[in-house]
Structure 1
Amino acid sequence: MSTMEYDKLYVAGDWRTPAGSDRIDVRSATTEEKIGSVPEGVEADIDAAVDSARRAFDGPDSWGNWEPARRQEVLLRFADELEKRGPETASRVSQQNGMPIVVAEAFEIPFPPLLLRYYSQLVVDQADERRPGMLGGTAVIRRQPIGVVAAIVPWNVPQGITFLKIAPALAAGCTVVLKPAPETVLDAFLMAEAAVAAGLPEGVLNIVPGGRELGAYLVEHPGVDKVSFTGSTAAGRAIAETCGRLLRPVTLELGGKSAAIVLDDADLLGNIESFFASTLLNNGQICWLGTRILAPQNRYSEVVDTIAGLASNLVIGDPLERTTQIGPLVSARQRDRVESYIAKGSADGGRLAAGGGRPADRDKGWFVQPTVFADVDPNHTIAQEEIFGPVLAVIPYSDEAQAVQIANDTDYGLGGSVWTADMERGEAFARKVRTGTIGVNHYVNDPTAPFGGIKSSGMGRELGPEGLVAFQTLQTIYLPPAAAN
């Protein structure tokens, strides 16, 4: 099988010979075979990328000083080039992280160009605000690009999450140094090819792959003005400490342990596809999934049986097959992590209602069966810690007050869902849950609405106009009464 090999990094608007000699080998999550490799960035590559981004931002014809409509022309070409490569992008993502191809086609193909078009138009439509002063005169409020952005993204939805950051950043007039995760670099290099074809100006976007140490070096680089990070809560805390010391703005989208609350009138079978998408999508490798299922005691056995039936009947297989609903996990290390939580769930007294092992017909690939635990106490480890795999914990509750208490009794607050036959009841319940986002009878990140978490799930928001504000700074110009007239 031929592999995808890259020898250079995308820095300063072109392909640049890396400063180091080490490489990142990428393996198929399904076959465990090598499918490609790219250069592994070193600190000198980050220096070059930041310097390039700095020049593109500070130069006489800087990207941030372009008229928004001029930037929009470039970003629309970028969107078009990404669309041309959409099927290949989806295929690369599926091979690398095990995302079922139908999910990759729904997330990784449409979202990047959609976000580029959305945010570039949002900036075109922005205008300076003029406020009458209370002391006379006028205040003019300008929105300006914040500067050079360090964007660090994870492997689970690599292109979708990348463009949550770089689409608003580029539209605002910022320049970007992107560090993709080592597990999913082949899609990032395909995206770089689209940037070259679109004619992004030199230094506006730079891509340097590497591990945690390289990410830490980028975060504290003196040439960076803003950090946007998606990943684990532990890594997010370390980044927050660095940015706090440097007084550097930071957006953090971190872990989750969201609750899917089944009310006593819910029709789970009638909403089973939406329920699957809200709890087990992408093999459980999404931070906002509702992995704690709260079920009323008077319907507990029925709910457990329904969810166990769902998990047991999902099609496990090659993520490139269109019938596959559950593919492999991203790596052997991730599978080991998930399996350790399954063992812990059983040791703590949880009852396995479905799954719990590896598929018998798969001797290659990092597969884990969709697993459902019943009789889970809210304080059990599998009910409190993020697992990031296809493992659900079903927790009973006596009444709505207890359901709210259990839903909120977590260090996290990112996503969630409420399931009910009464939409008004569902919305009213949703308002009681302490979380950044929550859905009623479904869950979807709509591009027009802010997404992010509270507590250990992070700080700041992406998507919506709020996602653009994160890459802008405000300047106020005070005009005296005479000037105002």
Structure 2
Amino acid sequence: MALDTLLFIDGELRPAKGGKTYDNIGPWTGEVIGQAADGSAEDVDAAIAAARRAFDTTDWSTDHARRYALMKTFRDLLYKNRDRLVEISKIEVGAAPGAAYRAQIDGALSGADGLISEFQRMKWEEDRGVKNEMGFDTKRYVMREAAGVVAAITPWNVPLYINVGKVVAALLAGCTVVLKPAPDTPAMGAIFGELAIEAGLPKGVINVVTSADPVTAGEMLTKDPRVDLVSFTGSTAVGKKIMANGAETLKRVFLELGGKSVFLVLDDVQEQAFPMVIAGSMVVFHAGQGCAYPTRLLVPKSKYPMAVAILEKAYAGYADKWGKIDEPTCIMGPLISKRQLERVKGYVDLGVKEGARLLAGGNIRNDKGGGFFIEPTCFVDVRNDMRIAQEEIFGPVLVVIPYEDDEDAIRIANDSIYGLGGAVFGSHQRAMNVCKRIRAGALSVNGGMSITGDLPFGGYKQSGMGREWGLEGIEEFTEIKAIGARVS
């Protein structure tokens, strides 16, 4: 399956200026899997102009019923292309089959359903009644209107899911969009152009620009005064740069950034459930390449030796169950790139130097093929002040930290610059009480789903600002207007 891709600008699939392309490298093999259009500054300028024109000169932002119908058609086309999307996620994203069908594709499709369903709850105009001020009556209204042109800058880890979360929500809100996918996953962005044509979306409401250069297009989109709003998912360091870029024109900026979430096991987890809960903390799904993935396992000291023994056995038993592109149950494949492989291995080496005990994994596995494979890895005897416990590794690396009591666990959980996700296991009310004190945006109790298309998602602290998904995710792409009409 060759993944050759084009740009999509002003309703047209076309090559980049001058026909320039770049190699799309497959994570499983390290080999070229296609040629992606390498957008230039001129291409980015054309995409912004098209989005601006579509917003300013058409009724896209005000015809709510039309948008709703067209986005339902777009959603249906995503479903129609499910098998193709799964193949792209395996070949381009490096998703193992079990992850490709779950979070990568079906999660995105379910998310689109959630957004379209939540759109029906949007209140575009609200009557706030009559109030007498300054000696006369005023009839008051509060309205929501589309924010304008959106720059959607997306990462490589779950690209369809995040592309849907930004693009579908922004279009439903009445905005127009320039989508800039990560250089590593151009095909999962380029397909939006193909489906936009088939769905009959008006010219310019969505534009897709891919580029080998991770900086130039993003710099233009975040600085151009024709762009009203930037929605970015990626690293905290880049998020800070985007915020600084947008300051000159006071753009609205939504940032979904890094995480170092906790997997907190309370001491009242039932004895028979404890082994399953601890084994379930292994960071293996999609090789740990998820911003909200709980990568800090917090275990009570009273049960710490037992937890370490369970993990040692669990990781040993998983040794031959990952890195298989043709195994339907496999959920862990390679990392996205050589650069990411080197980054993760660097953190493994750092953990050893910091004095943590390497319980399992940590090795690069060239025997798995020419791609970017590293073993599922677990460190124990970790202190929360170690860098491997504080910095986002974005790989299959779990760190295990003992704690004294609930207060100590909550302190450790909150002792982080991040606050994106997390999981708590224990008796229901106690776990709920602990969750309420953890400063993070999406928390699971006893395996409950806190990240779905109809719930808001986003972080505290340096995990970002704003919310995606759910009604709140659509509302983020709107402005609020108050009108007071004198009636006496």
Same structural fold, with TM-score higher than 0.5 when normalized by the shorter chain: yes
Candidates 435, 443, 451, aligned match of 1:438: 443
Aligned residue in 1 for 2:47: 49
Aligned residue in 2 for 1:229: 232
In the superposition, relative to structure 1, how do residues 325 and 118 fare at CA in structure 2: closer, same or farther (>3 Å)? Answer: closer
In the superposition, relative to structure 1, how do residues 120 and 280 fare at CA in structure 2: closer, same or farther (>3 Å)? Answer: same
Q: Percent identity?
A: 39
Aligned residue in 2 for 1:104: 100
Aligned residue in 2 for 1:138: 139
Offset of 1:137 from its aligned partner? 2.4
Structure 1 counterpart of 2:77, which letter? E
Identify the range of structure 1 (132-141 vs 431-440) with the bigger mean alpha-carbon deviation.
Answer: 132-141
Rounded to whole Å, the distance in 1 between the matches of 2:268 and 2:224 is 54
Q: Is the 8 A contact 2:345 2:364 kept in 1?
A: no
Aligned residue in 2 for 1:77: 73
Aligned residue in 1 for 2:186: 185
1:468 counterpart = 2:464:
no
Q: Is the 8 A contact 1:86 1:108 kept in 2?
A: no
Q: Is the 8 A contact 1:99 1:282 kept in 2?
A: yes
In the superposition, relative to structure 1, how do residues 125 and 385 fare at CA in structure 2: closer, same or farther (>3 Å)? Answer: closer
Structure 1 counterpart of 2:56, which letter? D
Provide the secondary structure at the position in 2 that maps to 1:435. Answer: coil
1:248 counterpart = 2:251:
yes
Rounded to whole Å, the distance in 1 between the matches of 2:305 and 2:151 is 48
Show structure 1 runs of 5+ residues with no match: none
Rounded to whole Å, the distance in 2 between the matches of 1:96 and 1:371 is 24
1:38 counterpart = 2:36:
yes
Aligned residue in 1 for 2:307: 303
Deviation track 1:204-254 (CA, whole Å, cap 9, x = no partner) reads: 110001222221111111210100000000000001112223211010000
Runs of 4+ in 1 over 6 A off after TM superposition: none
Q: Is the 8 A contact 1:115 1:167 kept in 2?
A: no
Offset of 1:113 from its aligned partner? 4.2
1:358 counterpart = 2:364:
yes
Rounded to whole Å, the distance in 2 between the matches of 1:29 and 1:123 is 36
In the superposition, relative to structure 1, how do residues 171 and 316 fare at CA in structure 2: closer, same or farther (>3 Å)? Answer: same
Rounded to whole Å, the distance in 2 between the matches of 1:196 and 1:213 is 27
Provide the secondary structure at the position in 2 that maps to 1:416. Answer: strand
Q: CA RMSD in A?
A: 1.8
Q: Is the 8 A contact 1:151 1:228 kept in 2?
A: yes
Candidates 470, 473, 483, aligned match of 1:477: 483
Q: Is the 8 A contact 2:21 2:38 kept in 1?
A: yes
Rounded to whole Å, the distance in 2 between the matches of 1:283 and 1:28 is 15
Provide the secondary structure at the position in 2 that maps to 1:109. Answer: helix
1:375 counterpart = 2:373:
no
Candidates 7, 10, 13, aligned match of 2:11: 13
Q: TM-score normalised to the size of structure 1?
A: 0.94
Equivalent pairs, count: 475
In the superposition, relative to structure 1, how do residues 202 and 360 fare at CA in structure 2: closer, same or farther (>3 Å)? Answer: closer
Q: TM-score normalised to the size of structure 2?
A: 0.93
Aligned residue in 2 for 1:147: 148
Offset of 1:356 from its aligned partner? 1.4
Identify the range of structure 1 (331-340 vs 115-124) with the bigger mean alpha-carbon deviation.
Answer: 115-124
Structure 2 counterpart of 1:131, which letter? R
Q: Is the 8 A contact 1:274 1:441 kept in 2?
A: no
Deviation track 1:81-116 (CA, whole Å, cap 9, x = no partner) reads: 111111111111122222222222123333444444
Deviation track 1:401-441 (CA, whole Å, cap 9, x = no partner) reads: 11111111111100111111x11111111111111111112
Aligned residue in 1 for 2:346: 340
Candidates 311, 317, 320, aligned match of 1:313: 317
Q: Is the 8 A contact 2:140 2:482 kept in 1?
A: yes
Aligned residue in 2 for 1:204: 205
Structure 2 counterpart of 1:294, which letter? L
Aligned residue in 1 for 2:260: 257
Give the alignment of 1:267-306 within 5 angstroms.
Answer: 267-271=273-277, 275-276=281-282, 279-306=283-310
Identify the range of structure 1 (381-390 vs 456-465) with the bigger mean alpha-carbon deviation.
Answer: 456-465
1:328 counterpart = 2:347:
no
Structure 1 counterpart of 2:290, which letter? I
Offset of 1:400 from its aligned partner? 1.2
Show structure 2 runs of 5+ residues with no match: none
Rounded to whole Å, the distance in 1 between the matches of 2:304 and 2:380 is 9
Structure 1 counterpart of 2:405, which letter? D
Provide the secondary structure at the position in 1 that maps to 2:368. Answer: coil
